[in-house]
Structure 1
Amino acid sequence: MSRYPVLKSLLLMWCLCTWSAMAADNKINSVRIWPSPDNTRVVFDLDSAPQYTYFTLSKPERLVIDLADTGGKFNFAGLANESDLVKKIRYSTPKNKRSVRLVVELTKKIKPQIFSLPPTAPYSDRLVIDLRDDDSQPSRQSSQQVVSHHADEGDDRNIIVAIDAGHGGEDPGSIGSAGTYEKNITLAIAKQLAKMIDAEQGMEAFMVRRGDYYVDLNRRTELARKAGADLFVSIHADAYTTPQPRGGSVWVLSMKRANSELGHWLEKREKYSELLGGAAEVIQNTDSERYLSQALLDMSMDHSMTTSYGLSDLIIGEMKKVTRMHKKAPQAASLAVLTSPDIPSILVETGFISNPTEEKNLNWSAHREKLAKAMFNAVKRHFKRTPPDGTLWARLKQQNRTHRVSRGESLSILAQRYNVSVQNLKVANNLNSDMVRIGQVLTIPSS
């Protein structure tokens, strides 16, 4: 028997294995550095899912990453870097010819979080490095807001509204057919809403995200709590697999998620201690007193959800004057940004970015301003009706007078008599029209 067929088979197998190994080579296509006030995310875009190991070195501080089965070299020389945590990214001697070694030079000692992400439009496979600076000072804005909220000012503190622009940085959110990123739309609307709130005496906005960077979903409510927020408003733009759906909607936390979230907080003693303002520190870890903790949390969650639902109705009423509503009643869902037991929280879908007409509208500044104004009007009406204790608005409400409507009186006549505007009368009394009835008792706001 001839040996040549066997040799040919072996040669063919060797060629196939060699070709397979060559075809499996990964490659770094691009690198992005996303800095935020207390966090930096570094993203490597790759041809395929990465196989990696890493370790850290000190003096100087470095993060070293070995990417297996990766060939070619990306040029880091022109990489944009505005991070306070990353000095530079460079190559070092690899473990073998089939790998590359990356070195991220750091400005200080940081414990990194490293993970891979599968392809999601517009990105391919990615290797992500999260560097969080736990020693960083709060941003100037958040620091000021905490002080203004908690300073010893008697009953005149501002009402704090936390505004969360959905997505950001590495997470673009939904993408419209014309290439519009949801993260840009939400930030633009959030900035307009914040401007309106800051212009209103007795109110103050806290921006969870002020630029194009990503904030972890759980950290968003943490930041709002540290700012002393009385309300959390998350802004998004919806999307669907077909272009037909359109319209806005408002979402609140579902009861199922609320119940599981209560259990989650109770499991972490430091969490419900923070929630109860330190009260948990004096509550013993016994069955009977654990019930007390649960009751306090339950009451807090119940109040937040009731408030959220009532405000959602007001926002829907205002938004339908500006845009079509996809859902005409508040919707309940298990959304991560709505799980804070102590802060009333809502999520506003401003429209479907997957609908070409609504994508065009959302790119129109005047339309975004109308959406922001609708949210602002609803939030203002809500807090005029039920201002938080210790605020300027709560004190002014206590000083308000009342008037019983007589025959022949109208809002315009009463506005002239008490030297207030018709609009302020309507807001103080939660009126949707200029109509009043005989015998109706109206609150007269301070002029």
Structure 2
Amino acid sequence: MAIKTTIILRTLVLVLATLVSLPLVARTLVEGARIWPAPDHTRLVLDTGGEVDHNIFSLSGPSRLVIDLKNTSLKADFAALDLEGSPIKRIRSAPRNGNDLRVVLDLKSDIKPRSFQLEPNQQYGHRLVVDLIDEGGSRIEKATAPTVTQDSSGKRDIIVVIDAGHGGEDPGAIGPRGTREKDVVLKMAKTLADLINRQPGYTAKLTRTGDYYIGLRNRTILARKYNADLFVSVHADAFRTPQPKGASVFALSQRGATSETARWLANSENRSDLIGGAGGLSLDGRDDTLAGVLLDLSMTASINASLGVGSSVLGQLGGVAELHKPGVEQAAFAVLKSPDIPSILVEAGFISNPQEEKNLSTEWYRTRLAKAIMGGIDDYFQKTPPPGTLLAWQKQNGQSGGGVSHYRIQRGDTLSGVARKNQTTVSELMQFNDLRDDRVMVGQTIRIPAS
């Protein structure tokens, strides 16, 4: 009897152990997939039910990328993905080793793969990201070739590079009604680029023209490849409560400048990079002491110019939107860290504020903001044009940029008083500067049309 009882107990233990172990073999699901083609890479994103143990490797003849996912099964429909504009010809998948999943990308050419996982955010859950990087440069060459429009006398345009924040898998901040920062700022950046390109003496370039992500360092690298005179990054702010509102302008902080100059000195590859944008100062071959002095001088000049153009832009924004802070703020944002290119970051408003989210969703409001930013940029460069540009030639020869003069509002000034002094009308000044009303701020620069 005792032997029988022992056998029964052992059997029960084995059954219970089997039942307890069953949940451990439950497979992770690939629940969805997205693809984001960019000029220099394509990003494939797999939505997963949790973290996945994976491995990727490339094959040639023909070109393929294999993605093996352990203890995973497929729920997503790869056939529904739009592969246009990507190096992927077809995506195949099949179970492997019983519990695993193999995904194969048939490619048009060889690529360099990179993979990593992302934690859940407010829009997506766990994700496996696979980047297909075009090392040959065939797809990015057109995007990065610098174009400088010159007239017959060699007077070049001022190059303004406009950077729409976030993109692709990174939506940025999301408003209460679901408005995504990445969409708002791309539309606004394109509007600003159109305004700049219509202005004589200027050429605008965009870091991204579609819904894809560019690394923060790569955005400033693009600006350098375009020989930018100014880099403007466009964003929309957010806060955990809906009350904060207003537009802001940022330049690089001294703390950010110090860490960046140290990074440039520590990285030998940076020594051969061009410093000074179109100016042409190189660190190549310099010893550490001299390179450090040159970097400090360049960074100081860049920050001072950034603060100058930022103040001009903020003054114009104050005429069409509420300001979050009265002056240019400074922070260590990565996109502001070019030691050779004046750089500002414009927060167009708080997308977390219901009213500002509604405003930023409309074309008319984004256009007003873009016109204000353009007005601030033009105000600054009319006063301090880079050497060799059309604006510098016009200033040297006493010519106005397109029959327009500029006036900085002083204490006690009213718009009606400025209109009388310049033999124009309040309504004409409001229309010319895209002002909502006749209120002006001390330090604000307004454009005066030629009589």
Q: TM-score range by the shorter chain?
A: 0.7 to 0.9
The answer for the alignment partner of 1:67 in structure 2 is: 69
Matched, 1:20 2:24: yes
Distance (Å, rounded) in 2 between the aligned partners of 1:384 and 1:358: 31
Query: SS at 2:147's partner residue?
Result: helix
- Using structure 1 for the length normalisation, give the TM-score: 0.86
Q: Distance in 1 between matches of 2:380 and 2:447?
A: 19
Q: Give the AA of the match of 2:207.
A: V
Contact 1:182 1:353 in 2 (8 A): yes
Q: Residues 315 and 16 from structure 1, CA distance in 2 versus in 1: closer, same or farther, beyond 3 angstroms?
A: same
Tell me how far 1:17 sits from its aligned partner.
0.7
Deviation beyond 6 Å, 4+ runs, structure 1: 410-416, 421-424
- C-alpha contact 1:158 1:202 (8 A) present in aligned 2: yes
Q: Secondary structure at the match of 2:340?
A: coil
Is the partner of 1:123 in helix, strand or coil?
A: coil
Amino acid at match of 1:244: Q
Q: Which residue of 1 aligns with 2:349?
A: 351
Change (3 A) 1:141 1:41: closer
**Is it true that 1:53 corresponds to 2:52 in the alignment?**
no
Q: Name the counterpart of 1:98.
A: 99
2:82 match: 80
Question: Partners in 2 of 1:397 and 1:215 — Cα distance?
Answer: 37
CA contact (8 A) 1:411 1:434 kept: no
Q: Deviations over 1:373-418 (max 9, x none)?
A: 111110000000100111010111100179xxxxxxx9878889xx
Residues 308 and 344, structure 1, Cα contact 8 Å, conserved in 2: yes
TM-score scaled by structure 2?
0.85
Question: Is contact 2:39–2:143 with CA below 8 Å preserved after alignment?
Answer: no
Unaligned ranges ≥5, structure 1 = 403-409, 425-429, 436-444
Give the Å deviation of 1:302: 0.5
Q: How far apart, in 2, do the equivalents of 1:241 and 1:412 lie?
A: 46
The superposition leaves residues 147-183 of structure 1 with CA deviations (integer Å, 9 ceiling, x where unpaired) of 326x796541000100000111111111111111100
Once residues 296 and 266 of structure 2 are traced to their aligned partners in structure 1, the CA distance between those partners, rounded to angstroms, is: 14
Cα distance, 1:89 vs structure 2:
1.2
**Given residue 105 of structure 1, which amino acid in structure 2 is its aligned partner?**
D
Correspondences of 1:258-337 after superposition (within 5 Å) = 258-276=257-275, 277=280, 279-281=282-284, 283-284=285-286, 289-337=287-335
Paired residues, what number?
A: 413
1:141 and 1:206 in contact (8 A); partners too: no
CA drift of 1:279 comes to 3.3
1:322 to 1:401, Cα distance in 2 relative to 1, 3 A: closer
Q: Once structures 1 and 2 are overlaid, which stretch shifts more, 56-65 or 134-143?
A: 134-143
How far the C-alpha of 1:92 sits from its partner, in A, is 4.3
> Structure 2: how far apart are the matches of 1:414 and 1:214?
47
Once structures 1 and 2 are overlaid, which stretch shifts more, 266-275 or 326-335?
A: 266-275
Q: Give 3-state SS (helix, strand or coil) of 2:78's partner.
A: coil
> Per-residue CA shift, 1:173-223, capped at 9, x if unaligned?
111111111000001110111111000000011011111111111100111
Distance between the aligned counterparts of 1:189 and 1:343, measured in 2? Answer: 22
Q: Which amino acid aligns with 2:283?
A: A
Task: Determine the structure 1 residue equivalent to 2:43.
Answer: 41
Measure, in 2, the Cα distance between the counterparts of 1:126 and 1:434.
50
Aligned partners of 1:328, 1:182: CA distance in 2, in Å?
Answer: 23
- SS of match in other structure, 1:228: coil
Query: Which runs of 5 or more residues in structure 2 are unaligned?
Result: 401-417, 434-442
Residues 153 and 170 (structure 1 numbering): CA distance in 2 closer, same or farther, change over 3 Å? farther
> 1:8 maps to which residue?
12
CA RMSD of aligned residues (A): 2.8
Q: Distance in 1 between matches of 2:336 and 2:75?
A: 43
SS in 2 for 1:332: strand
Task: Find the aligned partners of 1:217 and 1:432 in 2 and give their Cα distance.
Answer: 32
